[in-house]
Structures are given as structure tokens and as C-alpha cells.
């Protein structure tokens, strides 16, 4: 650890070329946090005053308990490069001191919003991949996210110790595994061709891939070995590096390099010969306690051990030796400093992604140049609960200018529109704070390129915001973040003591502020609902709510609730008609399911109310086989005017039809939000207005007559078109060894899941299973799975799609009918579905 005063730290923050902002991303359980810890242990900055306090990464109790990261944590590292190692560095620099702001993010899908927030404020990413498990679903997801944000990645193949101790594979096999891992990662990266970012693929021979053992605290890049051997072979370092990877073989017998394996028993791949084998040798010598052999070897490598360390035995000895020989911090930090961009480099190309306004205005230029003298542009990516209850730090990154204590800033919220006053505040920053370990230090100001926490703005920032100087009225905001997961799992909460309700309300507000992924709503019945990305996410939210945001007031939570959708299976069996309350107007309608994929297209925004009608009718006629004229007659989408249902006008020659359009649309918005079956949203239904009979006097065909009628006729047509429920379905990805497969299949069968892909990872005994699992059944799924496979399988669930339930909700006793009854009961509705006769009228 490095002891610093706030002033010293503040000094380095001015050297914008010597700063690296980076996040650590990976699949869950690939060893991010362990690796981060070893970096922190070596180079973490702590405040001078608390030097005695050794604990650095003060994790939450629940994180330690579960062994996973829940909240992303930011840590600053300090590293001083030697002149020798910097001589090949070509970028701009300012002395040898480097400041690395590192954000360790969670790997579990439920918390991927944390990753999104972390990526926004960093420029580079250390992608950690387990050398055995390889690139997993979450690795892929976060990597895509990172590249989308123009974050440059470097890779580390982690858990090398497993190769040597657990699997004991020989050099060539290990090489093949590593090669495959790197290739897989490169395949994903290659899909993001970005001329500004350049080649983002990683190459061991260029030093952008490290090999690490986070648990044992050692790591290396080929640079380390290349340096070692370059002088010995009398070749250039970069030349040596190339030889240490790929199709380069060395035969010690002939002392010759070849590009093919000559077949002689002594001929080995460069990597195996010069990197893998020596490590393996050292490790095995240590593990076997052959100290007489060990000391000379170490001496040759130039590694000196302290005397008390020499008494260690077995694994501790091995750890100690490896840490001394190949310290993880040196290898990884040097890789980051060499290959990840400084803020000033990164912002040159990131400005396009970041800034919403014209790219040639002064703000864009200030961001592009990372100009500390320019106007302030600061993006707040998350709100961190402060130690005094109820307050938050606004945590973010300064992209240009300086933010200082007492500065008056313009706060542009996510709904801000330039030129309007909506979602805009002007307030003073009370304090600017930087973290030194867990200690917050107030500093006078923070220049661009750094992360910062602001005090006193939490009332005016809801989730994220762009800050600029008070006077910069023509600045546009920085683009809002997009989150990749959606909250599908919900619980109803209420307080045990009724009078605690204000506390609960306040707590929910704070919870919503602290976590962008959580949605706190209220049901029609007056129950408070918390929606999260998954079971685990919800559990953490509830815990935070009760302990941190409600001061321990007791809450009662319901079982997890899943929202459903209502759809139809077929076209209505007949045209249904409803009469207005005054009996003078009649609406005739039919419902039919939307074409397959159309609802998804609407969800994705490919088709929507804001489209140009011509473009829309083109997509509809070409992809979904609609009649061109019909496509122009879409009245609206719903619910909320954008949902995946529509009303289409099929009438011919009806008088006054345009007059009631607004009323029908209003009735449709209402009805599609609360379907006839159990008042869930509708999905994938097209309502066709077949005929309309209207009273000749305008006063008798007003909204009051038509809106309720439109609602009734929509319900009637829904009920005559074989209504069905749709349930949300997770995509589950599980990695497990072969012997666990039986257990996985049986659990999935029990839970109505089905496997659609099973693939063995080449070179490993592991299988990759992809399955669909109804969200309703997913509660307790991961627990059951672990029990059934003795802890060998760990599922990752992400919401994938809505699936129609085949059973008829109108037929008593079916599964759908049971669900409908449950939902209706929860919502306080009559148990019986309102019969069709209530909605349909006869002539």
C-alpha cells in the first residue's frame, strides 16, 4: 500500500497523461475481486493518517458472505514506473508517477447496471477470464457493453494456478487452452470494428494479454519474460516477445527457432519452453519442498527471499516465491499503463459517444482535449449512499474543466431538453470529495480526467445527470446510459407497523435513487412494489431498504410476483359489437394476434408511433406481410402509446369516423393497459375496427359515449379471440462438469424449463448449457440447482422473451386459470373473469 496525503494525491491528478481510469469486468466468479485485492495490496493509496488500518477493500458483510461483488467499488492505485520500463512507451507522459483509478464491478447479471455505470466513467477495461471456464455469457455481455462505450480492453487469463495445481496439464495443452480463450474473446471484439478506437483485439505478443493467478497474487505478461531472455539471446525485446507466442518453436538441442514443430522430442513451443515450463518447475519444486534445488534457481532468476520467508513450506512458500518473482501488480499495472488510454487520449474518440450536442461546439472540444481550463463537463453515473443516513454522494467523472467546492453548477437531468427548463437545476457544490481507501478526503477542486464525489447535490440528481458551469446555458448534456437488463421480478412490500408508511415511502425513494435498476411502483390495490432484475438483486434491495434506508423499521414482503401479459391465440370468432351508454352508437371490432416478431419489433423500436408512416408501412408490408394500405391505417399503439398492441381502421365509408378516433384511442390505451382477463398489460394484439354506427348529432357521440364503449368492445373482442396469458421467460446459462448434467436436467424438467443447447467446451470437461426457464419457476432455482449438483452448477438468468402459455385461462382448472385467479385475488378483483356478455351487446 502507498501512504499518501490528500495534497499529494491531488497533485498527481493534474497530470492528465498519467491517469488511467479503468474497470475490471468479467463473468461471475472468474476472480475479479481477488485480482483487484492483490493489486490494491501492492499499490492501493491510503491516507497517511490511517496507515495502521490495514483493511483496504472494506466489503459489505453480505458480499463477503456470498462471495460475490454486489456494488462496484472504486479504488485509486499509485504506481511509479522505472525509466527502463518506460523507454519503449511512446505516448505522452509527465514523469514516472501514475494514478490508476480502478473500479471493481460485479459479475452477476443481476447487477449489470453497476457495470454500465462503471464503464461510463472509465476509459479502459481489464477483462478477466477464467483459463478453464473460458469466455462465458457475462464476459460476452460486458465486453459488448464496454466496446459500445468505446472502452479499450486488455485481457488477463486468470486462475493460472488451476492449470498447475488442479489440472496439471502439460505445456502444449495449456497453451492451446489459453489460445482458445484469447481467440474467443477476440471474436467478440472483432465484431466491433471501430476506426477511431482502432484494433481492439488483444495479443499476448503485443503485451495486451496477461496471465494471472489472482488467488496467489502473481501474474506475468510476455513482456516480463521477453526482458529476461532478450539479453540472453541477444535479440530485441519486441522480437523476443513475438517468439514467445504463436507458431514459434525452440529446440534447446539445436538452439534454433523454427516456425514448425520439428518433431524432435526436445523441440517445444516458445511459450511452453520459456514461460510455462519454468513456472511449472518452480511451483513443483516449492510444492515438493525441494529447497536445496529451489534457492539456486531463484538466484538465477534474481529473486531474493527474506530469511523468515525461507522457512515457509509447501503452498505458502510457493505463493511467496511466485509473488516475489512475478508480482501481479507489476505485470498488470504496467500492462494497463502501457496499453490502456489516458483520459486525454480516450476522450478524443469517446466524445462522439458521450456528447449529445454538436461535435464542434466548445463543450465537445473541451471534452475532446480533456481541457482543464475549459467549461466544466461532468457526468454523474451513480449515487452512492453516504454514511449519514439518507444522503448520497453524486459519483462521476470530470470530462473537462474543474469542479470545485462551492462552485455553482447547472444540473441537467436525464429528461433535460436544451433550451427548456425541464429537469434543470442550478445549485452549489457543497464539497468535492475523493476517496483514499475508505476514507473520504475533501479537496479544493478536481480537474478533468478524474473521478469525483460531490456532496450537496443529491436532492437534485435522481439517478444520473450532467453538470456544467452555471453560465454555460447552451451546453448539451452527456448522453444517458442504457441498461441491458430489465426488472421483471417483483415483490410487494408493506411495513409491519402501519404508521411506518412514511418511512417506507421515503426508503423506497432512496432505494430508487441508489440503484438505477430498481423500480419502485404502486399497484392498483395500493401495495408498494419493488421490481428488480432477479431474485438476488431483489434480495439485496430489500436488505438495503430495511437496514439503510428505513432505519431498521420492519417490513413484510410478499412472495415474488411475476407480471404477465395478455394476448390472443386466434382471430375473434365473430365481429363483436358494443353499444354506447345511450345506445345510439355502436362499435364493431375484431381482435387478432399480431404477426410473429412484430411485438418484438415494436419493443425494439423498429416500428413505433414516431415512425414516418411510409417507412413503417414498408417494414410492415415487406417483413410482416401487411397490406400496404392497411399499414397506413394504424390508429395507435398501446399501452402508453408505444406498447406492442395496435388499433387498425378497417372501416369503409363511415361518416364522422375521424371524430371518434381520439375517443377510441383513449379507450384502447385504457383497455390495453388492463386486459379483460386479469388486468395485466396486453401484448401482441391487433384490434380491427370493422364498422361503426354513430348518432347524427355530435353531442351524442362525444367522448363520454365512445370511450367506455371502445373499452368494452376491445374487451369483448379479446375474449372472443381465445385469450391467452404470456409469461416472462429467462435465458439460463449454466456451466457444469459432465457428472452434474443429470442433476441440471432433472431440476430444469421439474421447473418447466427446457434445454435448447448443450455444448462441451473444447479442451475442458465442462459443458455449457443454455435453457429457457419461466421466470415464475425461477424462484429458488439456483438454490435447488446447487443442491442437486452438489454445488457444481451455477446458473445465470437473464430475461429473454414472453412466451404464450398454452392452457386456456377461461377454462377452470387449467394452469393459466389458476394464475389468473391468483392475480385477480392479489389485485382485489372479483374472482371470476367478467363474462363476455358484460362487454358485448346484441342488436
Partner 1 sequence: MDFESYYEIAPTADFIRSRSFTRVALQFPDELLKDSVRVVRALRDELQSLEYDTEGNGGDREVRFFVMADTTYGSCCVDEVGASHASAECVIHYGHTCLSPTSTLPAFFVFGKASINISRCADNISNYAWTNGKPIVVLFGLEYAHAMQDIKEALVVESSRLCGSRSRLELYCAEVMCSDMNPSGDDKTSNGHLGPVESCAADEGCGVATGARYSIGGLVWNLPAGHRLEEYILFWIGSDNSAFANVVLTFNGCDIVRYDATEKCLVTDLSQQRRILKRRYYLVEKAKDANIIGILVGTLGVAGYLRMIRLMKELIVGAGKKAYTLVMGKPNPAKLANFPECDVFIYVSCAQTALLDSKEFLAPVITPFEAMLAFNRGSEWTGAYMMEFRDLITSSLVEVKKQSGEARFSFLQGGYIEDVDLQEDVEKDEGGALALAYATERALQVRDKFPNFLIKGTAKSGAEFFATRSYQGLDMHSNNTLPEPYLIGRTGKASGYEDEKGKQENV
Assess 60 for contact with partner 1 (CB under 8 A). no
Assess 812 for contact with partner 1 (CB under 8 A). no
- Interacting stretch for partner 1, rule CB under 8 A, among 14-22, 147-155, 374-382, 514-522? 514-522
Assess 460 for contact with partner 1 (CB under 8 A). yes
Select 389 or 583, whichever has its Cβ closest to partner 1: 583
- Interacting stretch for partner 1, rule CB under 8 A, among 65-73, 158-166, 466-474, 662-670? 662-670
Instruction: Report which DSSP code applies to 417.
Output: -
HEC assignment per residue over 304-365: CCCCHHHHCCHHHHHHHHHHHHCEHHHHHHHHHHHHCCCHHHHHHHHHHHHECCCCCCHHHH
**Cβ 492 to partner 1 shortest distance, Å:** 11
Select 246 or 414, whichever has its Cβ closest to partner 1: 414
Instruction: Report which DSSP code applies to 478.
Output: B
Assess 558 for contact with partner 1 (CB under 8 A). no
Q: Which of 144, 180, 348, 509 binds partner 1 (CB under 8 A)?
A: 509
Q: Which of 220, 271, 276, 637 binds partner 1 (CB under 8 A)?
A: 637
Helices of type H across 124-191: 137-148, 160-161, 171-190
**Cβ 421 to partner 1 shortest distance, Å:** 5
Q: Which of 512, 692, 734, 736 binds partner 1 (CB under 8 A)?
A: 512
Assess 246 for contact with partner 1 (CB under 8 A). no
C-alpha to C-alpha distance for 668 and 661, rounded to whole angstroms: 10
C-alpha to C-alpha distance for 683 and 677, rounded to whole angstroms: 13
**Cβ 526 to partner 1 shortest distance, Å:** 3
Q: Which of 708, 755, 779, 815 binds partner 1 (CB under 8 A)?
A: 708
Assess 824 for contact with partner 1 (CB under 8 A). no
Q: What are phi and psi of 250, to 5 degrees?
A: -130, 135
Q: Which of 94, 96, 404, 462 binds partner 1 (CB under 8 A)?
A: 462
Residue 599: all three cell numbers together: 411485438
HEC assignment per residue over 512-535: HHHCCCCEEEECCCCCEEEEECCH
**Cβ 167 to partner 1 shortest distance, Å:** 48
Give the CA count within 13 Å in the CB-facing half-sphere of 176: 9
- Interacting stretch for partner 1, rule CB under 8 A, among 297-305, 312-320, 402-410, 521-529? 521-529
C-alpha to C-alpha distance for 426 and 409, rounded to whole angstroms: 6
**Cβ 679 to partner 1 shortest distance, Å:** 8
Q: Which of 263, 419, 502, 625 binds partner 1 (CB under 8 A)?
A: 502
Closest by CA to 102, choosing from 146, 40, 191, is: 40
Q: How far is CA 785 from the centre of its chain?
A: 24
C-alpha to C-alpha distance for 589 and 384, rounded to whole angstroms: 52
Assess 524 for contact with partner 1 (CB under 8 A). yes
Q: Which of 527, 600, 603, 758 binds partner 1 (CB under 8 A)?
A: 527
C-alpha to C-alpha distance for 366 and 357, rounded to whole angstroms: 13
Assess 542 for contact with partner 1 (CB under 8 A). no
Assess 705 for contact with partner 1 (CB under 8 A). yes
Assess 253 for contact with partner 1 (CB under 8 A). no
Closest by CA to 121, choosing from 150, 93, 143, is: 150
Assess 531 for contact with partner 1 (CB under 8 A). yes
C-alpha to C-alpha distance for 607 and 617, rounded to whole angstroms: 9
Select 719 or 747, whichever has its Cβ closest to partner 1: 719
The CA distances from residue 456 to 335, 478, 521, in Å, are 38, 21, 27
C-alpha to C-alpha distance for 610 and 622, rounded to whole angstroms: 19
**Cβ 528 to partner 1 shortest distance, Å:** 7
CA-based torsion, 284, 287, 292, 295: positive or negative = positive
**Cβ 114 to partner 1 shortest distance, Å:** 18
Q: Taking CB under 8 A as the rule, which mask of x and - marks residues 66-85 in contact with partner 1?
A: --------------------
- Interacting stretch for partner 1, rule CB under 8 A, among 122-130, 505-513, 733-741, 805-813? 505-513
- Interacting stretch for partner 1, rule CB under 8 A, among 29-37, 152-160, 379-387, 517-525? 517-525
**Cβ 140 to partner 1 shortest distance, Å:** 29
C-alpha to C-alpha distance for 179 and 164, rounded to whole angstroms: 17
Q: Which of 51, 501, 569, 615 binds partner 1 (CB under 8 A)?
A: 501
Select 119 or 457, whichever has its Cβ closest to partner 1: 457
Select 258 or 641, whichever has its Cβ closest to partner 1: 641
Assess 843 for contact with partner 1 (CB under 8 A). yes
User: How many degrees, rounded to 5, is the angle at CA 648 between CA 644 and CA 649?
Assistant: 165
Q: What are phi and psi of 614, to 5 degrees?
A: -70, -45
Q: Which of 53, 373, 627, 659 binds partner 1 (CB under 8 A)?
A: 659
Residue 376: CB atoms within 10 A of its CB come to 25
Select 613 or 737, whichever has its Cβ closest to partner 1: 613
Select 612 or 629, whichever has its Cβ closest to partner 1: 612
Q: Taking CB under 8 A as the rule, which mask of x and - marks residues 605-634 in contact with partner 1?
A: ----xx-xx--------------------x
**Cβ 541 to partner 1 shortest distance, Å:** 13
C-alpha to C-alpha distance for 133 and 181, rounded to whole angstroms: 9
Assess 658 for contact with partner 1 (CB under 8 A). yes
C-alpha to C-alpha distance for 275 and 252, rounded to whole angstroms: 14
Q: Taking CB under 8 A as the rule, which mask of x and - marks residues 565-604 in contact with partner 1?
A: ---------------xxxxx--------------------
The torsion region of residue 650 among left (phi > 0), alpha (psi -120 to 50) and beta comes to alpha
Q: H or E element: which one contains 598?
A: helix 598-603
Instruction: Report which DSSP code applies to 839.
Output: T
Give the CA count within 13 Å in the CB-facing half-sphere of 304: 2
Select 120 or 513, whichever has its Cβ closest to partner 1: 513
Residue 826: all three cell numbers together: 392479489
Select 526 or 552, whichever has its Cβ closest to partner 1: 526
Select 635 or 779, whichever has its Cβ closest to partner 1: 635
Q: Which of 521, 739, 790, 837 binds partner 1 (CB under 8 A)?
A: 521
C-beta of residue 271 within 8 angstroms of C-beta of residue 179: no
Count the site residues for partner 1 by CB under 8 A: 66
Site for partner 1 in 680-699 (CB under 8 A): 693, 695-696
Assess 456 for contact with partner 1 (CB under 8 A). no
The torsion region of residue 727 among left (phi > 0), alpha (psi -120 to 50) and beta comes to beta
Site for partner 1 in 364-423 (CB under 8 A): 413, 415, 421-423
Assess 463 for contact with partner 1 (CB under 8 A). yes
**Residue 486: partners with Cβ closer than 8 Å, 6 or more residues away:** 533, 799
- Interacting stretch for partner 1, rule CB under 8 A, among 158-166, 224-232, 280-288, 523-531? 523-531
Per the document, the length of the chain is: 843
Closest by CA to 118, choosing from 404, 412, 483, is: 483
Closest by CA to 11, choosing from 445, 429, 318, 422, is: 445
**Cβ 525 to partner 1 shortest distance, Å:** 6
Per DSSP, the three-state class of 653 is coil
Per DSSP, the three-state class of 187 is helix
C-alpha to C-alpha distance for 122 and 450, rounded to whole angstroms: 9
C-beta of residue 528 within 8 angstroms of C-beta of residue 494: yes
**Footprint of partner 1 (CB under 8 A):** 413, 415, 421-423, 425, 459-460, 462-463, 498-499, 501-502, 505, 508-509, 512-513, 519-528, 531, 580-584, 609-610, 612-613, 634-637, 641-642, 658-663, 666, 670, 674, 693, 695-696, 702-705, 707-708, 828, 842-843
Amino acid at each position: 500500500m502507498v501512504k499518501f496525503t490528500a495534497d499529494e494525491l491531488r497533485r498527481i491528478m493534474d497530470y492528465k497523461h498519467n491517469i488511467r481510469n479503468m474497470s475490471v469486468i468479467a463473468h461471475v466468479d472468474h476472480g475479479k475481486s481477488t485480482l483487484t485485492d492483490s493489486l490494491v495490496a501492492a499499490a492501493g493509496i491510503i491516507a497517511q493518517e490511517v496507515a495502521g488500518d490495514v483493511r483496504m477493500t472494506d466489503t459489505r458483510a453480505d458480499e463477503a458472505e456470498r462471495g460475490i461483488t454486489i456494488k462496484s467499488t472504486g479504488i485509486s492505485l499509485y504506481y511509479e514506473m522505472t525509466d527502463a520500463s518506460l523507454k519503449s512507451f511512446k505516448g505522452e507522459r509527465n514523469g514516472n508517477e501514475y494514478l490508476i483509478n480502478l473500479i471493481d464491478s460485479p459479475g452477476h447479471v443481476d447487477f449489470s447496471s453497476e457495470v454500465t455505470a462503471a464503464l461510463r466513467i472509465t476509459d479502459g477495461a481489464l477483462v478477466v477470464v477464467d483459463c478453464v471456464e473460458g469466455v462465458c455469457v457475462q464476459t460476452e455481455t460486458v465486453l459488448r457493453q464496454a466496446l459500445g462505450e468505446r472502452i479499450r480492453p486488455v485481457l488477463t487469463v486468470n486462475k493460472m494456478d488451476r492449470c498447475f495445481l488442479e489440472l496439471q496439464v502439460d505445456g502444449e495443452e495449456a497453451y492451446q487452452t489459453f489460445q482458445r480463450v484469447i481467440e474467443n474473446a477476440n471474436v467478440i471484439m472483432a465484431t466491433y470494428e471501430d476506426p477511431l478506437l482502432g484494433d481492439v483485439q488483444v495479443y499476448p505478443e503485443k503485451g495486451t494479454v496477461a496471465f494471472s493467478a489472482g488467488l496467489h497474487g502473481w501474474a506475468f505478461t510476455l513482456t516480463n519474460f521477453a526482458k529476461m531472455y532478450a539479453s540472453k539471446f541477444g535479440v530485441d525485446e519486441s522480437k523476443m516477445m513475438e517468439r514467445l507466442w504463436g507458431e514459434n518453436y525452440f529446440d534447446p538441442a539445436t538452439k534454433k527457432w523454427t516456425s514448425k514443430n520439428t518433431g524432435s522430442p526436445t523441440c517445444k513451443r516458445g511459450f511452453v519452453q520459456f514461460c510455462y515450463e519454468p513456472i511449472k518447475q518452480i511451483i513443483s519444486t516449492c510444492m515438493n519442498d525441494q529447497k536445496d534445488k529451489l534457492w539456486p534457481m531463484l538466484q538465477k532468476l534474481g529473486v531474493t527471499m527474506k530469511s523468515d520467508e525461507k522457512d515457509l513450506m509447501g503452498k505458502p512458500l510457493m505463493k511467496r516465491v511466485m509473488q516475489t518473482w512475478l508480482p501481479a501488480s507489476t505485470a498488470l499495472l504496467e500492462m494497463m499503463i502501457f496499453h490502456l488510454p489516458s483520459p486525454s487520449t480516450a476522450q478524443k474518440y469517446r466524445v462522439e459517444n458521450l456528447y449529445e450536442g454538436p461535435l464542434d461546439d466548445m463543450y465537445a472540444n473541451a471534452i475532446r482535449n480533456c481541457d482543464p481550463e475549459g467549461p466544466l463537463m461532468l457526468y454523474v453515473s451513480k449515487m452512492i449512499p453516504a454514511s449519514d443516513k439518507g444522503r448520497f454522494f453524486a459519483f462521476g467523472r470530470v470530462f473537462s474543466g474543474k469542479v470545485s467546492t462551492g462552485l455553482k453548477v447547472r444540473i441537467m437531468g436525464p429528461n433535460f431538453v436544451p433550451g427548456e427548463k425541464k429537469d434543470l437545476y442550478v445549485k452549489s457544490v457543497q464539497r468535492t470529495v475523493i476517496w483514499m481507501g475508505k476514507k473520504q478526503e475533501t479537496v479544493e477542486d478536481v480537474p478533468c480526467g478524474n473521478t469525483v464525489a460531490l456532496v450537496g447535490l443529491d436532492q437534485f440528481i435522481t439517478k444520473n445527470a450532467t453538470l456544467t458551469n452555471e453560465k454555460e446555458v447552451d451546453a448539451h448534456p452527456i448522453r444517458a446510459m442504457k441498461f441491458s437488463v430489465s426488472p421483471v421480478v417483483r415483490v410487494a412490500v408493506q411495513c409491519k407497523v402501519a404508521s411506518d408508511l412514511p418511512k417506507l415511502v421515503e426508503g423506497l425513494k432512496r432505494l430508487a435513487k441508489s440503484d438505477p435498476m430498481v423500480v419502485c411502483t404502486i399497484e392498483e390495490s395500493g401495495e408498494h412494489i419493488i421490481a428488480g432484475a432477479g431474485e438476488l438483486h431483489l434480495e439485496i434491495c430489500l436488505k438495503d431498504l430495511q437496514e439503510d434506508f428505513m432505519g431498521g423499521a420492519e417490513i413484510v414482503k410478499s412472495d415474488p410476483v411475476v407480471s404477465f401479459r395478455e394476448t390472443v391465440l386466434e382471430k375473434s370468432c365473430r365481429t363483436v359489437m358494443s353499444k354506447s351508454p345511450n345506445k345510439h352508437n355502436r362499435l364493431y371490432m375484431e381482435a387478432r394476434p399480431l404477426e410473429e416478431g412484430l411485438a418484438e419489433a415494436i419493443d425494439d423500436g423498429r416500428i413505433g408511433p414516431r415512425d414516418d408512416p411510409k417507412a413503417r408501412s414498408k417494414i410492415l408490408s415487406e417483413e410482416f406481410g401487411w397490406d400496404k394500405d392497411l399499414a397506413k391505417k394504424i390508429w395507435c399503439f398501446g399501452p402508453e402509446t408505444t406498447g406492442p398492441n395496435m388499433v387498425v381502421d378497417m372501416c369503409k365509408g363511415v361518416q364522422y369516423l375521424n371524430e371518434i378516433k381520439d375517443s377510441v384511442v383513449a379507450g384502447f390505451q385504457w383497455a390495453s393497459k388492463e386486459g379483460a382477463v386479469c388486468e395485466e398489460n396486453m401484448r401482441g394484439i391487433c384490434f380491427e375496427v370493422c364498422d361503426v354506427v354513430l348518432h347524427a348529432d355530435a353531442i351524442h357521440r362525444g367522448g363520454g359515449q365512445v370511450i367506455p364503449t371502445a373499452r368494452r368492445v376491445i374487451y369483448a373482442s379479446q375474449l372472443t379471440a381465445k385469450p391467452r396469458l404470456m409469461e416472462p421467460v429467462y435465458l439460463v446459462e449454466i456451466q457444469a462438469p459432465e457428472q452434474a448434467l443429470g442433476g441440471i436436467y432433472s431440476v430444469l424438467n421439474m421447473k418447466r424449463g427446457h434445454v435448447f443447447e448443450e455444448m462441451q467446451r473444447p479442451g475442458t470437461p465442462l459443458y455449457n448449457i443454455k435453457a429457457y426457464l419461466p421466470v415464475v419457476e425461477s424462484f429458488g432455482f439456483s438454490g435447488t440447482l446447487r443442491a442437486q449438483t452438489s454445488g457444481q452448477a451455477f446458473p445465470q438468468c437473464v430475461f429473454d422473451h414472453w412466451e404464450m402459455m398454452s392452457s386456456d385461462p377461461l377454462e377452470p382448472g387449467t394452469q393459466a386459470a389458476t394464475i389468473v385467479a391468483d392475480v385477480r385475488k392479489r389485485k382485489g378483483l372479483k374472482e371470476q373473469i367478467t363474462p363476455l356478455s358484460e362487454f358485448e351487446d346484441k342488436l
